[in-house]
Amino acid sequence: MTRYPFSLEDFHRLAEAGILPEDARVELVEGEIVTMSPIGKKHAYVLNTLVDLLSPLRGRAVLSVQNPLVLGPATEVYPDLALLRPPRTRYRDRLPEGGDVLLLVEVAETSLDYDLNVKTPLYAKAGVPEVWVVDLV
């Protein structure tokens, strides 16, 4: 089987051209486009609870929910929640990167193995200082 690696620029072009629909649940992981698990009721409830709990930090951190995070030239993921270095305006013209993250949270209902063994090492490599994985099982 032949694989064709994608760069971050390729990934964005695919989305801009409509090849990847705007609502597609995909990430770019080390040059490969990977389908993300659907969000279930329990996942959504826990994520909303985390947002409520962490929202008092607004002003001291930028609360980013399921938004893109660049981890390298061929990796863009969508963590469930990230607390980013302020001010918010620093992300007006660029996407946040690993070094911008203060805390990152993944909520895992069916994705625990993937979150722990694929994504967490990518976060560490990109300089994310703190990662929490909430195991819903």
With a CB cutoff of 8 Å and minimum separation 6, the contacts of 5 are: 31, 32, 74
pTM: 0.92
Type of residue at 42: K
What pLDDT sits at residue 38? 87
CA angle 39, 16, 89 (to 5 degrees): 75
| Local confidence band at 23 (pLDDT 50, 70, 90 cut-offs) | confident
What pLDDT sits at residue 53? 96
What pLDDT sits at residue 3? 75
| Local confidence band at 122 (pLDDT 50, 70, 90 cut-offs) | very high
Domains of the chain from N-terminus onward: 37-135 (3.90.1570.10)
CB 79 within 8 A of CB 65: no
pLDDT in tens, 25-60: 999 999 999 999 889 999 999 999 999 999 999 899
Please provide residue 22's backbone torsions phi and psi, each rounded to the nearest 5 degrees: -55, -35
| Local confidence band at 132 (pLDDT 50, 70, 90 cut-offs) | very high
Residue/partner pairs of 62-68 with CB below 8 Å, 24 or more apart: 62/86, 62/87, 62/88, 62/91, 64/96, 67/96, 68/95, 68/96
pLDDT in tens, 62-115: 999 999 999 999 999 999 999 999 999 999 999 999 999 999 999 999 899 999
Integer-rounded Cα radius of gyration of the chain: 15
C-alpha separations of 61 from 5, 18, 101 in Å: 34, 33, 9
Name the DSSP letter for residue 45: H
